[in-house]
Chain A
């Protein structure tokens, strides 16, 4: 997608590794979340953006109503079996690169909703990068998850690794 396919092929390898750092820095500094509030966790997700917690310090304050403009999907709340295909569809509509944060115990493992209606862990539907414990997690917990995700993005290889023979 985009940069790695065009610039990456043209430049020598020494600069490629530096480009990795540059691109990752750009990506981790503005991870815009897709709004996916499903339950009470969404209230804490909103609280994350307020003046006290101020997730803008980490560049993730711009909640997008369209998945086309989002980088990370914060699954905030219990996912019902009926909602699962919708969740997957929103995820598929997000452009690469994309990440998923599973917020709270319900999204991560079903929580107290160990029943016929709720998906027991959202990782059955979409690949999850960071799980946040808590019921619900405090805004600090979610900011921690975003920081963990930033660490993860820093380590990512943007361009194709050359195979070591």
Chain B
């Protein structure tokens, strides 16, 4: 067995989270808060200007988030306000770094602009969020249920959804 295998330096390092302060000044109205914890960075963003922020994160050469690895949906509970949250997990294959963008949504108006034009992977991820939480994505090309049957009632991962369904 060989003792050492040559690897590209980026592949041997754990992906690190990017310093979000550089975008903060540029998107003051969109970014509410930047949280750093356990060497991970979360940007709390508003829905307005989200597309512009995401476009910048993707296209800026020093950031280059070319891969939307996941979108997570959260229901913070029936009595929480805002009730829903979406968490976009961005990754840069070029720079091997990550960033998390979190958007909070009110129960009365759970809708966000779609990220499909920016990342193709957003299509199915957003369909899953729609299926499970009932969050609407404006401008999505094909917003149908993806996991549950088409005639299914309700959104199963909402906290007020009965465990066995309606």
Contact = CB atoms under 8 A, between A and B. Distances in A.
B165 to A, nearest CB: 4
Interface centre among B147, B149, B156, B162 (most CB of A within 10 A): B149
Nearest to B164: A116
Contact of A115 (B147, B149, B152, B164): B164
A117 interface: yes
Contacts, number: 21
Nearest to A81: B149
Contact of B156 (A82, A116, A120): A116
A116 B149 contact: no
Interface string B124-162: 000000000000000000000001110010001000011
A117 B163 CA distance: 9
A114 interface: yes
Contact of A114 (B147, B148, B156, B164): B164
Nearest to B156: A116
A146 B88 CA distance: 51
Nearest to B161: A116
Given A116-B156, A117-B156, A82 B148 contact: yes
Interface of A: 81-82, 114-117, 120
Interface of B: 147-149, 152, 156, 161-165
